[in-house]
Amino acid sequence: MNDFGRTTLPYCSFIRPGETAPRVGVGVGTELLDLTTAAAEIVPQHARLFASGSLDPLLAAGPVVWAEVRAALRDRADARPLISLDDVELVLPFTVADYVDFYASEHHATNLGRLFRPDGEALMPNWKHLPVGYHGRAGTVVVSGTTVRRPSGQIRAGDAVEFGPSARLDIEAEIGFVVGAGSSLGQSVPVGDFDQHVFGICIVNDWSARDIQAWEYVPLGPFLGKSFATSVSPWIVPLAALEGARVDPPERDVELLPYLRYVEQWGLDLELVVTLNGEEISRPPFATTYWTAAQMLAHMTVNGASLRPGDLYASGTVSGPDAGQRGSLIEMSWNGAEPLHLADGTSRSFLLDGDVVSISAAARLADGSRLWLGQVDGEVIA
C-alpha cells in the first residue's frame, strides 16, 4: 500500500459495504478519513459541503474555503478514527463538466512528428506559440478500475476502408487538472489567476485507438479514436500540497504573447510510472512538459470561454527526452517498429485484450522528500 503521509491530504469519494450513498474521504497515511461524517466536528462551518458525498460543492466554494478546510484537516485529521482502504469502494469524486486534452509535452509532440512527418519539421508552426488542445468527451471519463472495452470504428487498410475493433489500442500517461471556481462567459482567466480557479490534480490515462484516429482526424482532429474512455485516479490532490514541487518550466526559445507569459513558477516536478501487467515500462517526467497548467488555462479561456466547477483538463501525453521516459506505446514501440519485450517472454507494440495498465505518480519536493499522488488502473476487455 502506498502512503499519502500526513500532509498531502488528497480528497476522494467512497462507498462503504452495504451502502449506496457515497461519502467524501481524505487520504491520511495509508487510511481514509470519512469527512462526510467528521466535517461537523472538524469544519462545522463548511459541513454542508460534504453531505452529498461528492466534491462538487467544495470545488464550487472557491479558494478561501479550500484553504480553510485544508488548514482544519492538517490540525485535526489524525484525531478522528480512520478507515482501511480495503473496506471501501472508491468512486468518481466529482461530476466532470467539460473535458479538454492538451498536447503540452515537446518531447511527445516531437516524437510523433518524427514518426508521421519524417521528411518535415517535427513540430507544427503553431506549437511553441500556443498550447495545442482539443475538446474531449466528459461523459466517458471513468474512475480507476473501470474496464476499458476495445473500441471499434472505421480503419484504413491499404486502399480499403473497413469497420472493426482497433488493433492499435494505446495509452497516454497524463496529469489532469480539476477546476473548482468558475468564471463568467466572455471573461478570460489571466495566467496569474491559475490557483484561484484550479483546485487540484489527478492522474489520467487517456486511452487512444491509433488506427481509428489516423483515418478520422483530418481535418478536424481527434474524435472516436479518443472519446471511448478516459480513466482518472480516484484521488484529487490539492494544489496547496504541491507548493514544494513547483519548478520553472523548460526554457522558452520563442517569445510568447503577453497573455501566456507566466508570472509565477507553475512547472511541477512530478514523476509518473507506467506499468503493463505489473512490469514497469516507463517513467515520464512531468517537469519537462513545455506548457504549464497555468498557460493551458489562460489559453483555454482567452476567447471568453467560461469555466465551471468540475471542468477537467489534461496535459496530453507526458514524455521525457530519453527512451525510458515515453508516455505512450506508439512512442515506446516507435509505431510498432521496435516492440517492447516483456519479462514474461511476450512483446507489445499496442495493447492486447486482458492487458492491465497502471499509471502512478509522485511529486519530488525541494527538500528531497516525495509525495505519492495516487494511481489510475485499467484493464482492456474485448
d(CA 206, CA 185): 28
Active site residues: 108
Contact 35, 48 (CB under 8 A): no
**Grid cell in block for residue 135:** 475538446
C-alpha grid cell for residue 243? 507548493
Which residue(s) pair with 312 in the sheet?
Answer: 99, 178
Q: Which residue type does 124 have?
A: M
3-state class (DSSP) for residue 330: helix
CA dist 285 → 19, 31, 268, 269 (Å): 39, 27, 9, 7
- Cβ distance 198 to 178 under 8 Å? yes
C-alpha span between 48 and 60 (Å, rounded)? 13
Distances, alpha carbon 221 to alpha carbons 133, 189, 218, 374, in Å: 10, 25, 6, 31
382 C-beta neighbours (distance < 10 Å), count: 8
Distance CA 46, CA 28 (A): 20
Q: Which cell numbers in the block locate residue 239?
A: 494544489
Give strand pairing partners of 197: none
Is residue 327 a contact partner of residue 109, using CB atoms and an 8 Å limit? no
Q: How far apart are CA 130 and CA 113, in angstroms?
A: 17
Evaluate whether 222 touches 192 at the Cβ level (below 8 Å): no
Residue 256 and residue 129 in contact, taking contact as beta carbons nearer than 8 Å: yes
Q: Nearest 5°: phi and psi at 137? A: -115, 110
